[in-house]
Amino acid sequence: MILPGKTIGVLGGGQLGRMLAQAATRMGYRVQVFEPQPHCPAGAVAHREVNAAYEDVAALSAFARECDVVTYEFENVPSGPLKQIAELTQLRPHWSVLETAQNRSREKRWLREHGIPHAPFVEVAPGGDLAGAIKSLGFPCVAKTASFGYDGKGQVKVRTEADVMAAQVMFRGLPAVVEQFVPFACEVSAVVARSGDGEIRVFPIAENIHTNHILDFSIVPARVSADVAAQTEALACRIATEIGLVGVMGVECFVKPGGEVLVNELAPRTHNSGHYTMDACATSQFEQQVRAICGLPLGDPTLISPAVMVNILGDAWEGGEPNWGKILAEPSARLHLYGKAEARPGRKMGHFTVLATDAETALAKARELKERL
Ligand code: AMP
């Protein structure tokens, strides 16, 4: 057990690292952040921030030696340097989990090999037959880069021959995955935690509404049948166990109109759709991450209140500083800002969560507050 007073290292200094650092410092841990860009959101609330490239093995090794456990909040940390620091300290989750999840080809292959339901897909090697892969799946389908994709970056929907040509230009020389388009009824996600001794807890399933491929609203409880919620929870638990997770993982899923759940993506860290847990659950996903990586007993994930989380993107700054007074004046809303200096369109700057007696009431209030920002 890594007890309070010890040092947690976080690779990546974004908002997930920041909220992890806040939870960890509250619990009495020391936190160090490793992030290439100076003045990062997590560094502002940690005991120490180290700025160096992830490929700088000397800097990364020195960092690892000072930490009792190291975790990652950023999915694109290269797995090579991670393998090296795993020799120096406890790395949780294991580097192999990140290696599987950070590459769509490996991730989809892992799902297939483990019999986890997913959309049919074809892998395309660099310079490979993208058009052939699209043809074999049929229109519409979605072509995605195998690595470094998130929030819909590096993906294109293919509906026509013209789209095939555009995809060929976009993915020239890159490894890609083509998958069948899933005409989903809704998207849901589960945040699951697993400790080293195999204890598992899942947070209540969130229903997610994306706008321009970026998460916009998470609604909890998800407006799905008990069977869909149970399927999603069961899949998340199976994945956490079979992949050997020690930590927290977000599992994103599509729900088909008939109620079948397909897994879309795995993220071996806390997840944007789990931010509602900070205000609405007995334990937050960030405290749960600390507990899981430090070998403490896992916390109670019970939902205390229905909730809706809304992301605040840089777009909200278009007409100047957003009107925070509207959110702050609403007793049922909680505002979280990540301390990012520059507001760019699509950049996640913060979020707010609205609590209510039921999800529909929370959603109506959340939409109203978002409009008035
Ligand atoms: P991803 O980057 O794979 O998480 O995709 C981002 C979003 O694009 C998803 O949350 C979906 O809204 C949409 N999307 C991705 N893949 C598919 C698919 N095969 N079928 C339908 N929608 C998709």
CB-ligand 1 contact for 107 (6 Å cutoff): no
Distance (Å) from CA 316 to ligand 1 centroid:
24
Q: Does residue 288 sit within a domain?
A: yes
pLDDT value of residue 149: 61
List per-block mean pLDDT (blocks of 10 residues) for the chain, which spans 373 residues. 98 98 98 97 98 96 98 93 94 97 96 98 95 96 84 84 93 93 98 98 98 96 98 98 98 98 98 98 98 98 98 96 96 98 96 98 98 91
pLDDT value of residue 154: 85
CB-ligand 1 contact for 142 (6 Å cutoff): yes
Helix (H, G, I), strand (E, B) or coil at 329: coil
Q: The domain containing residue 71 runs over which residues? A: 7-91
CB-ligand 1 contact for 149 (6 Å cutoff): yes
Kind of pairing, strands 69-72 and 90-91?
A: parallel
CB-ligand 1 contact for 159 (6 Å cutoff): no
Q: Please state the domain count of the chain.
A: 3
pTM higher than the cut 0.85: yes
Distance (Å) from CA 152 to ligand 1 centroid:
7
Residues 350 and 243 in one domain: yes
Domain CATH for 162:
3.30.1490.20
Measured distance CA(110)–CA(251) in Å, rounded: 14
Residues 337 and 197 in one domain: yes
Task: Compute the Cα dihedral for 25, 29, 35, 37 and give only its sign.
Answer: positive
Residues 209 and 312 in one domain: yes
Residues 207 and 323 in one domain: yes
Residue of minimum CA distance from atom 9 in ligand 1: 213
pLDDT value of residue 150: 59
Q: Please report how many Cα atoms fall inside a 13 Å half-sphere around the Cα of residue 32, on the Cβ side.
A: 19
pLDDT value of residue 143: 95
Measured distance CA(176)–CA(171) in Å, rounded: 7
| Nearest-atom index, ligand 1, CA of 141 | 19
**In terms of Cα–Cα distance, which of 274, 280, 283, 282 is closest to 357?**
280
The alpha-helical segments, DSSP class H, found in the chain are: 15-26, 57-65, 79-85, 95-101, 104-113, 130-137, 161-170, 226-242, 277-280, 285-294, 324-328, 359-372
The alpha-helical segments, DSSP class H, found in 144-220 are: 161-170
pLDDT value of residue 354: 98
Residues 163 and 190 in one domain: no
Residues 37 and 126 in one domain: no
CB-ligand 1 contact for 213 (6 Å cutoff): yes
Distance (Å) from CA 362 to ligand 1 centroid:
25
Q: Which helix (H) or strand (E) holds 254?
A: strand 247-255
pLDDT value of residue 298: 98
